[in-house]
Amino acid sequence: MKTRAMTSTSNASKQTAPATPKREAILSAALEAFATRGVNGVAVPEIAERASVGTGTIYRYFENKEALVNALYCEEKRALRRRLTEHLDPEGEPRALFDEFWNRLVRFARERPAAFRFLELQDHLAYLDPESLALEHRVLSPIRAACEALQQRDVFRSDVRAEVLMTLIWGAFVQLFKTERAGYLSLAEADINSARDACWHMCTSTR
Amino acid sequence: MKTRAMTSTSNASKQTAPATPKREAILSAALEAFATRGVNGVAVPEIAERASVGTGTIYRYFENKEALVNALYCEEKRALRRRLTEHLDPEGEPRALFDEFWNRLVRFARERPAAFRFLELQDHLAYLDPESLALEHRVLSPIRAACEALQQRDVFRSDVRAEVLMTLIWGAFVQLFKTERAGYLSLAEADINSARDACWHMCTSTR
Amino acid sequence: MKTRAMTSTSNASKQTAPATPKREAILSAALEAFATRGVNGVAVPEIAERASVGTGTIYRYFENKEALVNALYCEEKRALRRRLTEHLDPEGEPRALFDEFWNRLVRFARERPAAFRFLELQDHLAYLDPESLALEHRVLSPIRAACEALQQRDVFRSDVRAEVLMTLIWGAFVQLFKTERAGYLSLAEADINSARDACWHMCTSTR
Amino acid sequence: MKTRAMTSTSNASKQTAPATPKREAILSAALEAFATRGVNGVAVPEIAERASVGTGTIYRYFENKEALVNALYCEEKRALRRRLTEHLDPEGEPRALFDEFWNRLVRFARERPAAFRFLELQDHLAYLDPESLALEHRVLSPIRAACEALQQRDVFRSDVRAEVLMTLIWGAFVQLFKTERAGYLSLAEADINSARDACWHMCTSTR
DNA sequence: GATGAATGAGATTTCATTCAT
DNA sequence: TATGAATGAAATCTCATTCAT
């Protein structure tokens, strides 16, 4: 209701809205705050202050707090997907492909730690609308396709379903950085590489 | 006898308080609610209602909401630790040991899904006091010790630090059930077993 | 949603809720405030203060401000209806009946000026739910029936539809007190009686 | 020419300001909106949108929302007064005069329903300044004079004070259209005419 | 002059906590 | 000891008004 401040291009709904500086500032401030204390742990005026914006301004760009969370989730999921799939040749040499994929994840986690953490939050699930949740699939489906292809080519083990294998790698990776962030672990370059090797073996070895 | 519920036993602090039925009802109700909607998404009176207890009663057993969260966290972490370590012979045959460990995790996740989910929540981090957080170590240290022992015996690969290996397995396992809970995956017995095998290979294989 | 503070008897919905002192205080404070400045002109904390009650307490008794307005409207419409119809013999001598009816209106307007004014407010129409609006009919229908009966008995003129006649009297009466309240008119006993006579003539005379 | 819109003509204050198209558009949009949802129920930017004008533009023509309400009230009261008094011969044949007066009211209510409704709103009372309120008198005084004259000529009954009689007619008339607007009544030509007759009898009959 | 994005004071509503019973 | 009605601080959201363009 009321005039929507921005209108999107004709494409599918929940399109990334045009990036005005204020909108970016709000999303960025919200991301940092949510990543640290969870969606329910952050008050809207606090986001406004971090974004150097009036409280009311947030409501010009987003219908309500829930819409802000959804927009943020979609933007970041899309950014992650872009990072993982862009210019990646799924037909390439398997091990190189796997390493490249792993490195892209590492770069995302290192360069955008708040985004990485936010995407893995649990407590925003209550906020996410079906459309946002659908994005999850769009991120994972190319990865699953790659897993299946590698199973076909007998590179990856076939005694584990592709979805399961994918989940194991994803979980292992996420936990690595989550544990580091919690201060229980400090990851040297070597640790990350050895973890990558271990995951590769998880996918390929059968004895 | 006017002893405050919290300070009854002489032992170290945050000791499991005497288990009165009301206290149990409160913890159990809180666990279910928190697991579903996050700590910040649940109002105290709602916990009281689910526990069939007056709102004020919660404050007889717990100083405040934060204390309730911490007590819950500690109880559940301890329960998990007990499940994982009790009657487990760390000197046994490695693969059997690993399988047993994996199966215990599975049983915990299956029998106490709310507890499992609650322990992995992020949004209670702000609530947890140092003491609660310390418990994390107490749960993980015997596992790390086991990992290290297996590395010594050349069963587990040594090119990955024990903490890292442990983290990878833990993350893989948690993600499996998280994904199932989100509805993206349904885990058959065979899936869980094949995942276990894959994790075993991650730890042992080096080529 | 949430626990309703009070439950009603088994009868039809929007039953007058049991009259607790706080609830009465809130309704009474709201009535005074709304009558003076309109529903949209009064903030909830102000009602709370007038009622010597915490702001939150209002939300224990009423779902939201709108529900408070509706409850108030219903209670007052019912009170008015009771006043107008209670122990009134519709078969009595016409002029005496008319005078009695008029006097009852006068008493209501004099004794409960805020209620009288509130019921005639226009700006709460946006707030009223269908059920509240239906009450309007329940108040007016016995009056219309009386008008029709008097037309049948050739006491009231028949060249004006009963609904129209009723509306004219009602409007004339309301305006009398509205104008007095606005300070444009001061009504002596004699004025009210002469107005009553004039209205009687409006209903009966045909030349 | 930097003259403020409000202070242009030399005449008495709150003079009808020069009628620029934008000013008219704003007043007209405000009238429609206020009539439907009350002064407090309409946001200024919404008026701007309905008027196809920038929000800020409203503040070029009116000091603030209150001033807008007052200007609107004055314009419409004046329009009503003009309609009722212009080219009306107060010395004419009484019944014809009364009918003409009634018909003018009907035409106003029919042709400018929003204005009619707005003038009867209660929730703008808090907004009206003394000057606006004084207009009420200017509208009513010629009518009262006519009533008094008719009483002198023994056409109107004299047992009711002129102010009271006037109030009764006015109230009866207003209620008629208010009830129609609320959907409780639909007024045919015949109803309006019979109501007029009844009101005439109210003023003239004494037995 | 005209605009409408931006603002922050203030409105509505929620909820952790208290306290009289 | 147990209760749950009551509270008010804090959260979400709205809107009259301003001001840079």
Amino acid at A58: I
Neighbours of D16 (CB within 10 A): 12
Q: What does the block give as tokens for D121?
A: 């709103």
Q: DSSP letter for A194, please.
A: H
Amino acid at B142: P
Show the beta-strand stretches assigned E in chain C.
none
pLDDT tens by residue, C133-152:
888 888 888 889 889 999 99
Q: How many angstroms is C1' of E8 away from CA of A22?
A: 17
Q: Which chains touch A (3 or more CB pairs under 8 A)?
A: B
For strand E, the positions having any atom within 7 A of a protein Cβ are 1-20
Distance (Å, whole) CA D26 – CA D48? 7
Considering only CA atoms, which residue is closest to the C1' of nucleotide F7?
C54
Helix axis angle, D113-120 relative to D65-85, nearest 10°?
A: 110
Q: Mutation test of the interface with chain D: which of C36, C118, C135, C160, choosing the one with the most D Cβ atoms within 10 A?
A: C160
- Three-state DSSP at B51 gives coil
D176 with C160: Cβ contact below 8 A: no
Quote the pLDDT of residue B15. Answer: 59
Look over chain A and give the mean of its residue pLDDT values, rounded to a whole number.
89
Q: Which nucleotide is nearest to D4 (CA to C1')?
A: E1
Residue in the structure block whose two tokens are 């002029």: C95
Distance (Å, whole) CA A17 – CA A22? 12
Q: Which of C119, C30, C127 is nearest to D37 (CA)?
A: C127
Domain boundaries B9-204, CATH class: mainly alpha
D31 torsion bin: left (phi>0), alpha (psi -120 to 50), beta (else): alpha
A residues 77-136 lying closer than 8 A (beta carbon) to B: 117, 120-123, 125-126, 136
Quote the pLDDT of residue B206. Answer: 74
- Dihedral sign, Cα of residue D21, residue D26, residue D31, residue D33: positive
Distance (Å, whole) CA B101 – CA D12? 93
- Contacts of residue C6, Cβ cutoff 8 Å, sequence gap at least 6: C17, C18, C20, C23, C61
pLDDT tens by residue, B99-140:
999 999 999 999 999 999 999 988 888 889 988 988 888 888
* Shortest distance, CA A83 to any CA of chain B (angstroms): 22
Distance (Å, whole) CA D125 – CA A92? 78
Distance (Å, whole) CA A14 – CA C9? 48
pLDDT tens by residue, D32-84:
999 999 999 999 999 999 999 999 999 999 999 999 999 999 999 999 999 99
Across the interface, which of A167, A170, A194 has its CB nearest the CB of B164? A194
Q: DSSP letter for A52, please.
A: T
Q: How many helices (H) and strands (E) are present in chain D, helices listed first? A: 9, 0
Does B13 score more than 50 pLDDT? no
Q: Which of A123, A97, A202 is nearest to B157 (CA)?
A: A202
Cβ-contact A56, A82 below 8 angstroms: no
In CATH, the number for domain C66-204 is 1.10.357.10
A202 with B199: Cβ contact below 8 A: yes
Choose which CATH entry (3.20.20.70, 3.30.465.10, 1.10.357.10, 3.40.1550.10) describes domain D8-204: 1.10.357.10
pLDDT tens by residue, A37-85:
999 999 999 999 999 999 999 999 999 999 999 999 999 999 999 999 8
CB < 8 Å to A173, chain B = 171
Average pLDDT over residues B81-90: 87
Distance (Å, whole) CA B79 – CA B88? 15
Look over chain C and give the mean of its residue pLDDT values, rounded to a whole number.
89
Amino acid at D170: W
CB < 8 Å to B127, chain A = none
pLDDT tens by residue, C98-110:
999 999 999 999 9
